[in-house]
Chains A and B, each alone.
Chain A
Amino acid sequence: MGRTVGNNRFTKCLAVLITSLLGGGAAQAAWELNMPVGATDVSAKVFDLHMLILWVCVAIGVLVFAAMIYCIVVFRKSKGAVADTSIAHSNTAEFIWTVIPVLILIAMAVPAAQTLVEIEVVRDTEMTIKITGYQWKWEYEYVGEDVSFYSSLASESNAARQLNTDIDPFEVENYLLDVDKPLVVPAGTRIRYLITSNDVLHAWWMPDFAVKKDAIPGFINEGWFEVNEPGIYRGQCAELCGKDHGFMPVVVEVLPKEEFDVWLAEKKGGVARAAATANQ
């Protein structure tokens, strides 16, 4: 029942909190703290950029907070501190703390702009996939290949996510991150994606590729990705699209090139066979 599950979770999470505070048990996969490095060159660059700005902010934060804490500790009235009311402003200081942040910001903007340009320029793509958002599923179309299919939340997850069900989400594999038919793409291939929607806004988000793009009805957005390592990657719809917004995951299965060709041929055959039977 929900309640017991809750209590278990509660005790477990307190336990984990305490152990991790004591330095142990932090290795739990669930306690993911950071952005994934991901599976593409771009995602790795975005990760580096993220770490760069994070550390810059941390560094500035340490300095600023240190100054604040210093004031709080040293200039206490209770310790007999007397205010020096003659300090009202200082042009030098104010100049310095205007210019230095500007320089830091420029230093951050340059790599950011470079990465952005790399992401935004779509060229030399080897295949094109059209993604269409629906309330609440995705359609994937292999442009020029006559292959297309819908991808919806896997049925086990769907059963477990209902209100008042007895199914424990922890017992469901890849709860809410599994679909019936994933998008299948070849590894090491520069893929152009085109994205649109059939009803309301959606957004196709694959953290491991650092791709998030809005699906807008009536317009087509484009972008690209190239995955290095075969594997299964999971993400979710990232734009509020109605009641089942939380239940339209994005799953991509990346196959080695040869296996992908086989898969595609099979799919095409399937379509051809289906068309043939329909014609009869």
Chain B
Amino acid sequence: MAHAQDKYYIPHGTKWPILMSVGLFTFFLGVSSGLNGGSFTVPVVMGLGLVLTIIFLWFGEVIGESEQGTYNDQVDSSFRIGMMWFIFSEVMFFAVFFGALFYARQLALPWLGGEGNNFFTNLFIWQGFENAWPSNGPADVGGDFETMGPWGVPAINTALLLTSGVTITVAHHALKENNRRILGIFLAMTFLLGFIFMGFQAYEYIHAYQDLNLKMTTGIYGSTFFMLTGFHGMHVTIGAIMLLVIWLRCLRGHFTPKHHFAFEAVAWYWHFVDVVWLGLFIFIYWV
């Protein structure tokens, strides 16, 4: 392992980006075609396969360079700043769906119930509709449903994620103190907690669909519920996979107490997913 460069490393030529774009393009063509009722298996599988392969190879190359000491401190802070703003963009992405939830609860539903100057909305179109959350709207879209109470599975999930936030912090400290054994154990605990969370979430979805008649089609309640928890679940999955990768890298002896951007990036991401969950727990399940 060479000493860190004193020059900012500029990679020379890369074929991953264009292949990545081809993969995404193929994938989305397939999905679109599928949504329109056409055939989709081949492009979706090919596209997704290409995307995943490229992610693997692209990250592999970057990790290799990183381990060779190609990146100096300035490159490291580029990665850090970049990751921070990437997470900010994710925050904004979730903000839209929270915004939709608040809009529906605070504005749209009350209006449909005749509030503000919407007396006539209620009188002429939705006679007899009284606004109360949870709601699947004045037309009772999707039929009667039950909501997911906060104190069962969601509370357990909250505990799981909060604990995982602690374990990753412990792992981080261990890494900084070069205690590889603790690092390995606590990192493993973190992603295991993540996967258990996903298991519960899957169970919850099945329960919702089979027992509660709570579906994506259940009016605005179902829409916001599944959109928010769904995208969150997707992020937990991605985060947990990243944790797994980081763990494998730790086992291989990657990272030093001083130099471990990838570890921190994943940790930040995981905390972000955690915080979003708290928002979900409060606004989706609880109040």
Contact between chain A and chain B defined by CB under 8 Å = yes
Check B125 against A194 for contact (C-beta < 8 Å).
no
Q: Interface size of B by Cβ–Cβ distance < 8 Å?
A: 9
Q: Contacts A130-B124, A194-B124, A196-B125: A219 and B111 contacting too (C-beta < 8 A)?
A: yes
Contact with A along B112-142 (1 / 0, CB 8 A): 1000011011001110000000000000000
Residue A218 at the B interface, CB < 8 A?
Answer: yes
Residue A226 at the B interface, CB < 8 A?
Answer: no
Contact with A along B47-86 (1 / 0, CB 8 A): 0000000000000000000000000000000000000000
Majority secondary structure, B binding face: helix
Q: Which residues of chain B are near A122, meaning CB under 8 Å? A: 117
Q: Contacts A130-B124, A194-B124, A196-B125: A220 and B112 contacting too (C-beta < 8 A)?
A: no
| Cα(A218)–Cα(B138), bound, Å | 10
Give B230 Cβ to nearest chain A Cβ, in Å: 25
Residue A222 at the B interface, CB < 8 A?
Answer: yes
Give A195 Cβ to nearest chain B Cβ, in Å: 10
Check A194 against B120 for contact (C-beta < 8 Å).
yes
| Cα(A219)–Cα(B129), bound, Å | 13
Give A193 Cβ to nearest chain B Cβ, in Å: 10
Q: Which residues of chain A are near B117, meaning CB under 8 Å? A: 122, 222
Check B120 against A222 for contact (C-beta < 8 Å).
yes
Check A219 against B121 for contact (C-beta < 8 Å).
yes
Contact with B along A209-222 (1 / 0, CB 8 A): 00000000011101
Contact with B along A195-237 (1 / 0, CB 8 A): 0100000000000000000000011101000000000000000
Q: Which residues of chain A are near B118, meaning CB under 8 Å? A: 219-220
| Cα(A30)–Cα(B120), bound, Å | 40
Q: Which residues of chain B are near A196, meaning CB under 8 Å? A: 121, 124-125
Central interface residue in A122, A130, A194, A218, by most chain B CB within 10 Å: A218
| Cα(A218)–Cα(B120), bound, Å | 11
Q: Which residues of chain A are near B111, meaning CB under 8 Å? A: 219
| Cα(A156)–Cα(B80), bound, Å | 68
Q: Which residues of chain B are near A220, meaning CB under 8 Å? A: 118, 120-121, 124-125
Q: Which residues of chain B are near A218, meaning CB under 8 Å? A: 112, 121, 125-126
| Cα(A220)–Cα(B112), bound, Å | 9
**Nearest CB to that of B126 among chain A residues?**
A218
| Cα(A122)–Cα(B125), bound, Å | 20
Q: Which residues of chain B are near A130, meaning CB under 8 Å? A: 124
Q: Which residues of chain B are near A222, meaning CB under 8 Å? A: 117, 120
**Nearest CB to that of A223 among chain B residues?**
B117
Taking CB atoms and an 8 Å cut-off, the chain A residues in 85-136 that contact chain B are 122, 130
Q: Could you list some 23 contacts between A and B, CB below 8 A?
A: A122-B117, A130-B124, A194-B120, A194-B124, A196-B121, A196-B124, A196-B125, A218-B112, A218-B121, A218-B125, A218-B126, A219-B111, A219-B112, A219-B118, A219-B121, A219-B125, A220-B118, A220-B120, A220-B121, A220-B124, A220-B125, A222-B117, A222-B120
For the complex of A and B, 4 pairs with smallest distance between CB atoms = A220-B121, A220-B120, A219-B121, A194-B120
